[in-house]
Structure 1
Amino acid sequence: MERRARSESSLRRTQGRKKSSPRILIVCEGEKTERNYFNAIRRERRLSGARVQILPSDYGTDPLSVVNYALDKFLAEGRAFDEVYAVFDRDDHHTYNNALDRASALNNSYKNEAGVRVPFAAVPSVPNFELWLLLHFKSVLAPIHRTEVYAELKKPAFYPTYAKNSATVYDDTKGNIGTATQRATHLRESFNPADGSDPYTDIDLVANKLLSIPVPWG
């Protein structure tokens, strides 16, 4: 009886952990770079692809298309997600501010199949995703063009081997993720992403969300 009681207790703990693990949909502007980054975290944390889906936008790479695809994917999958993220860059996109407004309007506007309202968040980077990587190596407090971000990032003292679409970006930089998070938080406290010119990124929020999910048993 004691062994059975322990087994039942263990099962309840396992079931509770599985229940608490959120189902997350992440739609990215980029075909590979951002997806590779988040997928590397997903694999490290042993999060199943069924619970954490990381997809490119099938509607195109402009920010509003990314947001619209994230919504349509959420609906097409039977609303079987607890959180939705639309990841895109400022770059020179004309629909950038429209995408921010659209995501804000969608936030908590839909319920999932369990009847719970779903957070729907835009995850912008100004000027681009690579700013997040650069923050692993230095602070950036003034407007910077994407070409400057690449040039700075690839300096010998920082990340000279960086290449877009690399599958090792997360592994190459994760040792400094705490520092990068502090710098991204400072930018969030200092600037408004809607301005579109000051350096800004919310990539840390999604990365740390995935890193905070308990590793499954087994």
Structure 2
Amino acid sequence: MGRKSKKIKQKPIIGIFCEGKSEKQYLTMLKQKYRSTNVKIEIVDAGLSGKKLVEKAIKSRKHKKFDAVYAVFDRDDHKKEELQACSKLAKTNNVNIIFSSIDFEIWILMHFEPVFRRYTRPELVTRLSKEKYFNQDYSRFKGNSYRSYIFDKVENAMNNATKLYKKNSNWIEDDPFTNIHIYLPRIFDIK
């Protein structure tokens, strides 16, 4: 009599499309941390609008047969109307939007401390450059590996983002804002 095969549940294939090297480096660190070989991360042209990023995710989902897709971007110069159109397009096509305002670095800062006030991009770079954070010019660091700085601080960021989200939960209107903490458990099967 032959052996019975064990039915091992396949992990969904996940596609993540981001606009920059920082986002890719960060998500790659998590992919390694949580051993998520089912997660595929791709940088789409850094200059693309959120809508173009969502369109790329839609096209790739069909072509590459992803079970779930995510578009990761920040406020940049997006106007409210653009973000609303982006939201509608994403919902219609089952694309999840991971968004930070004003910049992805608001999420990076949350690995070190709670964030409740608005920062400009230069303020974020200055703050993250300080000794207790990255201890170097963060603008030159961007796009490098986060592993030795925040690998063990993801839970901090999740907790800090949850606190912020209780006050600021409207991704189109609020600043500061991030919803990364909502999607990371789904993407990386974090309990």
Alpha-carbon distance, 1:59 to partner: 8.3
Gaps of 5+ in 1: 111-118
Amino acid in structure 1 at the alignment position of 2:70: Y
Go from structure 1 to structure 2 and tell me whether the alpha carbon gap of 1:96 and 1:46 turns closer, same or farther (over 3 Å shift): farther
Q: Which of 27, 48, 57 matches 2:17?
A: 27
Alignment of 1:7-156 (within 5 A): 8=4, 11-13=5-7, 15-16=8-9, 18=10, 21-30=11-20, 32-48=21-37, 51-58=38-45, 60-77=47-64, 80-91=65-76, 93-94=77-78, 97-107=81-91, 109-110=92-93, 119-156=94-131
Amino acid in structure 1 at the alignment position of 2:158: T
Q: CA RMSD in A?
A: 2.4
Amino acid in structure 2 at the alignment position of 1:139: P
Give distance in 2, aligned partners of 1:56 and 1:97.
24
Q: Which shifted more, 203-212 or 119-128?
A: 203-212
CA-to-partner distance for each residue in 1:89-147, whole Å, 9 max, x for gaps? 113x235652454334432x44xxxxxxxx42111100111111101111221111111
Corresponding position of 2:182: 205
Kept after mapping to 2: 8 A contact 1:29/1:87:
yes
Go from structure 1 to structure 2 and tell me whether the alpha carbon gap of 1:170 and 1:185 turns closer, same or farther (over 3 Å shift): farther
Q: TM-score, normalised by structure 2?
A: 0.84
Give distance in 2, aligned partners of 1:88 and 1:201.
10
Question: Which 4+ runs in 1 deviate beyond 6 A?
Answer: none
Give distance in 2, aligned partners of 1:188 and 1:200.
7
SS of 2:73's equivalent in the other structure is: strand
2:171 matches 1:193? yes
Kept after mapping to 2: 8 A contact 1:125/1:202:
yes
Larger radius of gyration: 1
2:161 matches 1:184? yes
Q: TM-score, normalised by structure 1?
A: 0.75
Give distance in 1, aligned partners of 2:184 and 2:147.
10
Give distance in 2, aligned partners of 1:124 and 1:103.
11
Alpha-carbon distance, 1:186 to partner: 1.8
Alpha-carbon distance, 1:208 to partner: 3.1
Alpha-carbon distance, 1:61 to partner: 2.6
Give distance in 1, aligned partners of 2:46 and 2:126.
30
Kept after mapping to 1: 8 A contact 2:19/2:45:
no
Kept after mapping to 2: 8 A contact 1:27/1:70:
yes
User: How many pairs were matched up?
Assistant: 187
